[in-house]
Structure 1
């Protein structure tokens, strides 16, 4: 049996384990949260290194991509450097493939009307491929990176603006302590409504769920969400606020969806190539073989 483990800086309340078959091979997939404890995450990686087939890096990105340029988050290297035998991935290899495909599928299959709709991405630099896909199918973007990540109360309204601003601030952002950029540990369970008028303005909320959840207003009647990872508790929170439909870029696995870091780790275990030899084409080919489809959850039922 192949074993994939996501070591996450996020809350342990979101932990999950699931056994299944992919392409005729048995898998045990786990997500283990360390509640923002870097030492605990490092110890876990050291203990499992060489004993599992692939690591996912959860609760933190190793890279962000802006208009084809890759920036490395300094703090994330503390974790990936501990994985000396087992390959470790953060999901960025899939964000430009799986998540683009998700938006395209949702649009073309009529799962959700996107063209002409206003889409709030609380943070788009960690999902630039998703932002581009929304733009390609005719959505009107509200980009919240400056407001929600940097603290400058100005929304961006185009990918051109994001490219210009992103290239200017990315070299500084990736050097900041990660806790300043993204909720980790118990902070993931705290909701602090902020700049709510942009949530109200949007028809669709999209991107990383922890970013979306962090600033959720109390009432969002009829809104839709396109995101990565949701638990039963997450869905209940969204339902209480009046969210109508949730689409996850990864499928349901044992009652919840896993993050892109887990799915990328699963693919790395299946591809069986050294990590530095895996190309985007390998991920695209594997996506076709696995025939993964977005998860669609109707919260009105």
Structure 2
């Protein structure tokens, strides 16, 4: 029977002895505590080497390999040197291998778990190899070595700084980590490390270190990486409401033992000293024993909270007024200066959203980060101006721990629509346009269904209606056109560049050969025939369409931000349903969210895409550029349903449309259609058209108006009606200017 003795500086009252089978051999393992007395530890090791096959040394300062430098602990070296007859180890080699494997295992098993986490190493030098492994997934690494050992108030914030610090060490480190804690943790220094624990997502340290700096306030919800977690230690973590404990030392026996014990048992089993055993030899034994880290959930429920950031900005001077205490009477020329100044301000956190919980159990939280430029200011400058603000926001998001960032409103339109920002940003970027397109059409379809003006028969392959997409060559517009071409009888794709429209048409017909697609850059004359219109332009307040020419009962989905149809335009046509794209309702009541101009718990679809990707753990560049991919639109729609996202109540410029509101629009639309002349005038101006027959210049002409009325359903019948409309048009255009 092999005999292994572990001498530790821990309390002797926790000593134990047990027998077990390990690597095919029988073992007796005995623990001897020296009660923080290195002299007693030295004597125990000297005495027991005579009757042991290997000795482990625990709870003592270790030698460190940091970069190319080895830091030797003189007291540990003295204790190890007393054992000359059998192998002796602190478990450093096995600990290093198990730490790295633990990081890789958790990252894989829990789905990108460490991506951009803020990780605090209470000793970076002792856990250097783990830190190197962790750096593959996050740059947010902080090391408390300098604070613990010298009292320096700042954290080391990179591997380079840690290596530089290790090179500068000229003193002998205390033998026990507990000595370091007792000497350095006092007053402001302790407050500093306690605060650092609170802002971190993952804390790495020994149990003694964690207990010295942790408490129920700053450890709640955190992930802790440590070793040798027994029932007593787990109870402490439960008291502190720790979310996840990653124990890098496996529980191979009923009794929890430290890594130094397991390495000593391995050395005894193969009869070699530590110097004779390579990393590959240890890996082979690890694989044979099927060792994996223990993932413990002290509270009984594991919460895998993913984090996101989303960029917002003011759409106009009015939004700037709401964000800052600026008097309403401020002259316009001063507001113009304020608007310009705001565009140059650095990004700032607007609010933090918490408690977003999917039906699957996944959770997300994130920050809304505001950049100051309005669309007017962004258009007045080169795209690089906006790129730099967005990259500053991305750097801020990374430091906060966000794992993906979305671009909102006009920030996703500027320049190449997110491509450059995604290439240069330190974390994945999405514009949210896939879900914006999905949400817009989702809302439009629901609105048309509720209005009931377009009848769809059971056997119809397509909706017997016509639709138009204005801004069709853009990201949301192009994918909207593709989907509508599959569902509607006819689609008009409208924009400013005929060449781009023709290319889009060719692409649509390749996917949907039997679709009817019409290109137009002068589309006003076609508005009168449209049952649905989607506007998705970057007009930034410019007039996009003449709403007076739109067919009564038409559903207009305004996806643009700023809106293509301001309230004063919408007010001209109470018989037309104008909806503000498709907003999304979150599955749970969100905490901490400030107003973004929508009802509580309702968000824009582009923000919803960012959240859905976070909930799914899809930390990747998802939607960028102007060619939104149809498969991604379908995918994000399905993922949204999976995570409990719902289409919010249909809303317009005045708020949510009730069933009563929609019924009123339908009533007015049906009435207006009785006298609709194909866009010559708005419904409010229809009355004079009825007086036209009163002139009666001749008996033959008196009956003339009666003939076209039954034929108004046919496109040809609308042509004669456009002639008198031309005379009325100037009077109609003068009205908005008044």
What RMSD, in angstroms, separates the aligned Cα atoms of the two structures? 2.3
Where does residue 206 of structure 2 map in the other structure?
A: 208
- Check conservation: 2:247, 2:293, Cα contact below 8 A: yes
- Per-residue Cα deviation, 1:149-188 (whole angstroms, up to 9, x for no partner): 321111111111111111112x42xx14435xx116xx7x
Q: Distance in 1 between matches of 2:83 and 2:111?
A: 39
Q: Distance in 2 between matches of 1:114 and 1:15?
A: 36
Q: Distance in 2 between matches of 1:245 and 1:13?
A: 28
Q: Does 1:113 align with 2:110?
A: no
Find the residue that maps to 1:50 and give its secondary structure.
coil
- Aligned-pair CA distance for 1:222: 0.8
- Check conservation: 1:14, 1:231, Cα contact below 8 A: no
- Per-residue Cα deviation, 1:103-146 (whole angstroms, up to 9, x for no partner): 11111122781111111111110111111111123362121111
Q: Distance in 2 between matches of 1:191 and 1:263?
A: 35
Where does residue 720 of structure 2 map in the other structure?
A: none
**Equivalent residues in 2 for 1:1-301, closer than 5 Å:** 1-110=1-110, 113-138=113-138, 140-169=140-169, 171-172=170-171, 175-179=172-176, 182-183=177-178, 194=191, 195-219=193-217, 220-254=219-253, 257-301=256-300
TM-score, with normalisation over the residues of structure 2? Answer: 0.38
TM-score, with normalisation over the residues of structure 1? Answer: 0.88
Worse-matched range after superposition: 14-23 or 281-290: 14-23
| Unmatched runs of 5 consecutive residues or more in structure 1 | none
Find the residue that maps to 2:86 and give its secondary structure.
coil
- Aligned-pair CA distance for 1:75: 0.8
Q: Distance in 1 between matches of 2:263 and 2:61?
A: 13
- Aligned-pair CA distance for 1:255: 5.3
Q: Distance in 2 between matches of 1:93 and 1:213?
A: 25
- Check conservation: 1:199, 1:217, Cα contact below 8 A: no
Worse-matched range after superposition: 71-80 or 108-117: 108-117
- Check conservation: 1:230, 1:257, Cα contact below 8 A: yes
Q: Which has the larger radius of gyration?
A: 2
Find the residue that maps to 1:136 and give its secondary structure.
coil
Alpha-carbon distance change, 203 to 36 in structure 1, aligned in 2, over 3 angstroms = same
- Check conservation: 2:57, 2:90, Cα contact below 8 A: yes
Alpha-carbon distance change, 199 to 14 in structure 1, aligned in 2, over 3 angstroms = farther
Alpha-carbon distance change, 264 to 151 in structure 1, aligned in 2, over 3 angstroms = same
Q: Distance in 2 between matches of 1:123 and 1:7?
A: 22
- Aligned-pair CA distance for 1:246: 1.0
Alpha-carbon distance change, 140 to 68 in structure 1, aligned in 2, over 3 angstroms = same
| Unmatched runs of 5 consecutive residues or more in structure 2 | 301-738
- Aligned-pair CA distance for 1:253: 4.5
